[in-house]
Amino acid sequence: MSFPWAEQYKPKHPFMRWLDDRLPLPRLAYNSVGGGYPVPRNLNYMWNFGVLAGLALVIQIVTGIVLAMHYESSAVTAFASTQHIDRDVNQGWFLRDLHANGASFFFIVTYLHIFRGLYYGSYKPPREMVWMLGLVIFLLMMATAFMGYVLPWGQMSFWAAKVITGLFGAIPLVGEPIQHWLLGGYAPDQPTLTRFFSLHYLLPFVIAGVVILHIWALHIPGSGNPTGVDVKTPQDTVPFHPYYTAKDGWFALLGLMLLALLVFFLPDYLGHPVNYVPANPLSTPSHIVPEWYFWPYYAILRAFTWNFLWIPAKLWGVMAMFASILLLFLLPWLDKSPVRSGRYRPMFRIFFVFLILDVLVLGYCGGMPAEEPYVMISQVATAYYFAHFLIILPILSMVERTLPLPNSISESVLDGAPAHA
């Protein structure tokens, strides 16, 4: 299909022609994020979170590189080096608060990006690979964030490392060797910091590589849209630049303003006060919790309190926690409805609201102590979470009566009026 406005890149300056012949980076940029990339004309603001996530990754990499220049991955001096960054390094407090809150910002944006994909069916053919590469990015983010949480070597950092790595010890046969390999010993100590610091520094660049694959996979079928209807004519699209570069640009500025409010006025709001106490292996905090973005999975982990089928409760919890994420890889095959967008699936919309509420309940329970009624609520919410994907979605895809789809994207935008190029 030809797009009248999407002309091939034609450099005019002699140097640009010379460069384009030998290293066609300008052509690549033009066809990827410029006027040569056709985009559905009806994308709403939920499609802006992908760009915002990329911006968050850049912030994390840049601030992380500078912080690494002043951080000491030593069990003796790690905590003191973070205080040194806050108090003695020029603008160190800003960089550290931006990096710490930037991680929360990254996860907020990513969660919104994922739920947008769930609602609008972004996991459905032909975009299965886009969805799965996005989940790989999410898993790498979680690993990176966990190891970064350990680096300040405060009380919560130390005990979170002990608890989370202890999960691997529940795996039969290979669990304890894996746990000892991760820690570099039998408890978090100097080797743990060395390993986690090196991996925490490396993984963001791996994430950046997978992001490139994610965008590449997206450009093959093209972007989805709120109607879920495929592009049929050139009138269904507009060039990415200037329309969506302008839209993404102002939205990114709004996101940065909200991040600035968090960094300058509430820098410790999403943290834990116990982490401002140096790590002490002899003093266990009364309530050990990971960062807030892990709370739903932490609630699923703690929801299993009894042994079943000769499998310990701890192992059930570990398997359920990992399965809650790996399950999302199967969505293209679990939801077989021919309609992509939740706009045209009335029953799906109702259960989607239930899913959001369920995840919020899991997150709340994950941040609470492991006592009643939070454990019981976590068990109910965990059961619904798995039922939603394994039972409700497959049944809905067979029995749901969907609303009629528009004939084209242009029809949905212009309400049936004839489209003009």
Q: Which residues are catalytic?
A: 219, 223, 247-248, 291
Residues in CB range of 315: below 8 A, 6 or more apart: 170, 171, 172
Please report the DSSP string for 15-63 in residue order. Answer: HHHHHHHH--HHHHHHHHHSTTSEEETT--GGGGHHHHHHHHHHHHHHH
Q: Is it true that the peptide bond before 278 is cis, omega within 30 degrees of 0?
A: no
Q: Residue 419: how many CB atoms within 10 A of its CB?
A: 15
Distance (Å, whole) CA 170 – CA 314 = 6
Q: Are 234 and 3 in contact (CB under 8 A)?
A: yes
Q: Distance (Å, rounded) from C-alpha 9 to C-alpha 149?
A: 45
Whether 331 contacts 388, CB under 8 Å: no
User: Where do the H-state alpha helices sit in 295-373?
Assistant: 295-302, 313-326, 331-334, 346-366
Classified as helix, coil or strand, 307 is coil
Distance CA 35, CA 241 (A): 5
69 burial via Cβ count (<10 Å: 0-12, 13-18, 19+): exposed
The two structure tokens encoding residue 102: 């930037």
91 Cβ partners below 8 Å, 6+ apart? none
Alpha carbon 292 to its chain centroid, in Å, reads 13
Nearest CA among 361, 351, 356 for reference residue 381: 361
